[in-house]
Structure 1
Amino acid sequence: MTSPLALHGWRHVYSGKVRDLYVPADLPADARAERMLVVASDRVSAFDHVLEPGIPDKGVLLTTLSLWWFDRLAAGRGGERGIPNHLVADHVLAVDGVRELIPAQVAGRAMLVKSLEMQPIECVVRGYLTGSGWVEYQADGTVCGIPLPSGLHNGDRLPEPIFTPAFKAPMGEHDENISFARTVEIVGAETAAELRDLSLEIYARAARIAEARGLILADTKFEFGRDEAGVMTLADEVLTSDSSRYWDADAWRSGTTPSERMASFDKQIVRDWLAAHWDKTGTPPELPADIVGRTAERYRELLARLTS
């Protein structure tokens, strides 16, 4: 993994697989930051490994899509309530004009956000049967322990979207799928219900928007935190190719095989190539230029179809 950028006025404090986090450089070491800079890199990960090379412009594409969704959800439409998010103004008015608060080095790939008390729950909503849910359903007739009707096939729409939370594991460990009852034990009944209801509401709204653009939002995951006033606030990235599965609606209806029905607008191309060329031991092989290019095109196509 490449070293994080040195940004004037900011101090690097954390790097995940694909994002880097900064706090103001003059913040005392023992103080809590009120504002943070979240920078999306071009890194791509699969099977818990960061791969080489990255996907060109991935950070810009994902940040642009997150900002678009945050704006759509915050505004509300047709009587829908606005969903609070963690974004704060990325510029201020100065005597000599507008002063940008995001360093030019990361313009387009960074978000200025307020600090939140993050919830330890990853809020997953599934509207379709696929991925690990399909594997579990074949074995037990359930998804994350939730019973489903018999006779469903890979890629089928569920009778209704389901909330399947996960407990956020410490850095370097796997998140753990948990039941709603376990969520209640971790965060309390009121907060668990709030997380579930918010997640299902946002998914339903986003799925309608995607459907109007010929896309299916098969599943997604959200993260939330409370602000200083105690308001549950949408955070991290939202409804991007890295946090969601989107399918082409026409292909889903007309396809005759799972790969045709569920060709997703994300890094599935990378996962499939890696699964065919690596036994998951040692260092992953370098991605071929063709795989990198095709993946970048899928990211670009999703952004264009949603936002145009």
Structure 2
Amino acid sequence: MTNLSAPLAIPGWEHRYSGKVRDLYAPADGSDSHLLVVASDRISAFDFALEPPITGKGEVLTALSEWWFDRIRIRNHLDPAGPTVPEAVRGRAMVSRRLNMLPVECVVRGAITGSGFAEYERTGAVCGIELPEHLADGDLLETPIYTPASKAPLGEHDENISFEQSVEVLGRETAEALRDASIRIFTEARDLAAERGLVLADTKFEFGVDPISGEIVLADEVLTSDSSRYWDAAAYLDPTLPRAERLASFDKQIVRDWLSAHWDRTGEPPVLPAEIVDRTLARYRELYVRLTGLEAPQVS
């Protein structure tokens, strides 16, 4: 991915890595027990970091991850007893235990859409899982399916793999543990979302291993707009609406649609109009409010 902005200088912390939307910092004193995970306001599409950023997006993603971490019954990477989040990034950063991250994205699909639907159209299966014939884009699956992906270097696309390929990477015991945990978390989250009038179509999780205990730990963001696809249940169930409205997700689809209409994907992408930025942030905030019942974080 191109056009990543320079990382923020944070006293007491050293920048170690920047992903599409997150920056990782380690303690400047050389200790290796914790990381500072900062959710930036960057937004990416078609492998480009776009301008301008979506100011306030980092706070919404962080708050929603923390809300879900409080409800998921599996150990996660947060460490309330660790170093204090610096004031410069308070509200959009979390202090986490340092883990040995596992090289597989744990994707769970409760509906057939996106890249999964494209693969299904070509092969009749997703990641080696045969599915019923004649499914349409957006159809819900009778039971969620686990479709792992191998993690790609920054700027490259993750690659869907079969469960057996994940066994080759992780070993059978770990691969089965990730699959079982991912499906359980997805199922619980899907049911809670349904109570809030939302359809959780798919999501991805990341896990690491605690280097001291050897325990598998849920890490990174969880069940946010950047890692999950949510649809409004009332719109989804309305057969009179066009497919694009039924499957309108609470994420950066607004940005993708605008770029597709105004850019041929050659050269640098255009600057996002203020109206697109505002609509995108509003969509992120709406999901937070509908899931949590709380007021969305204020833009700092």
Regarding TM over 0.5, the answer is yes
1:79-98 alignment runs, 5 A limit: 82-89=73-80
Partner in structure 1 of residue 64 of structure 2? 65
- Contact (CA 8 Å) 1:218, 1:246: kept in 2 or not? yes
**Whole-Å separation in 2 of the counterparts to 1:297 and 1:171:** 28
1:144-163 alignment runs, 5 A limit: 144-163=127-146
Unaligned runs of 5+ in 2: 294-300
Partner in structure 2 of residue 97 of structure 1? none
SS of alignment partner, residue 127 of structure 1: strand
Residues 3-44 of structure 1 show CA distances to partners (whole Å, capped at 9, x for unaligned) of 1111111111111111111011110xxx7x101100001000
Amino acid at match of 2:231: W
**Per-residue deviation, 1:140:** 2.2
Q: Is 1:188 aligned to residue 171 of structure 2?
A: yes
1:32-111 alignment runs, 5 A limit: 33-73=32-72, 82-89=73-80, 101-111=84-94
SS of alignment partner, residue 72 of structure 1: coil
**Whole-Å separation in 2 of the counterparts to 1:272 and 1:158:** 26
Amino acid at match of 2:209: R
Q: Paired residue for 1:207, among 190, 207, 220? A: 190
The number of equivalent residue pairs is 288
Q: Paired residue for 1:229, among 213, 231, 239? A: 213
SS of alignment partner, residue 260 of structure 1: helix
- Contact (CA 8 Å) 2:254, 2:276: kept in 1 or not? yes
SS of alignment partner, residue 36 of structure 2: strand
Residues 186-244 of structure 1 show CA distances to partners (whole Å, capped at 9, x for unaligned) of 11111110010000000000001100000010000000011120111000000000000
Amino acid at match of 2:154: M
- Contact (CA 8 Å) 1:90, 1:102: kept in 2 or not? no
- Contact (CA 8 Å) 2:196, 2:290: kept in 1 or not? yes
Partner in structure 1 of residue 288 of structure 2? 303
Partner in structure 1 of residue 154 of structure 2? 171
**Whole-Å separation in 2 of the counterparts to 1:218 and 1:206:** 11
**Whole-Å separation in 2 of the counterparts to 1:140 and 1:174:** 20
Partner in structure 1 of residue 234 of structure 2? 250
SS of alignment partner, residue 159 of structure 1: strand
SS of alignment partner, residue 70 of structure 2: helix
- Contact (CA 8 Å) 2:109, 2:146: kept in 1 or not? yes
SS of alignment partner, residue 284 of structure 1: coil
**Per-residue deviation, 1:115:** 0.5
SS of alignment partner, residue 86 of structure 1: coil
**Per-residue deviation, 1:50:** 0.3
Partner in structure 2 of residue 280 of structure 1? 265
**Whole-Å separation in 2 of the counterparts to 1:258 and 1:72:** 32
**Per-residue deviation, 1:270:** 0.5
**Per-residue deviation, 1:90:** 5.9
- Contact (CA 8 Å) 1:60, 1:109: kept in 2 or not? yes
Amino acid at match of 2:247: M
Partner in structure 2 of residue 94 of structure 1? none
**Whole-Å separation in 2 of the counterparts to 1:300 and 1:37:** 24
- Contact (CA 8 Å) 2:127, 2:163: kept in 1 or not? no
Residues 105-151 of structure 1 show CA distances to partners (whole Å, capped at 9, x for unaligned) of 10000000000111000000000011111222222222223211112
**Whole-Å separation in 2 of the counterparts to 1:34 and 1:137:** 43
**Per-residue deviation, 1:258:** 1.4
Q: Is 1:270 aligned to residue 269 of structure 2?
A: no
**Whole-Å separation in 2 of the counterparts to 1:201 and 1:139:** 29
Greater CA drift, 172-181 or 205-214: 172-181
- Contact (CA 8 Å) 1:117, 1:225: kept in 2 or not? yes
Moved over 4 A (4+): none
**Whole-Å separation in 2 of the counterparts to 1:288 and 1:170:** 30
Partner in structure 1 of residue 279 of structure 2? 294
SS of alignment partner, residue 14 of structure 1: strand
Partner in structure 1 of residue 9 of structure 2? 6
Amino acid at match of 1:143: V
**Whole-Å separation in 1 of the counterparts to 2:260 and 2:125:** 26
Aligned-residue CA RMSD (Å) = 1.3
When normalised by structure 2's length, the TM-score is: 0.93
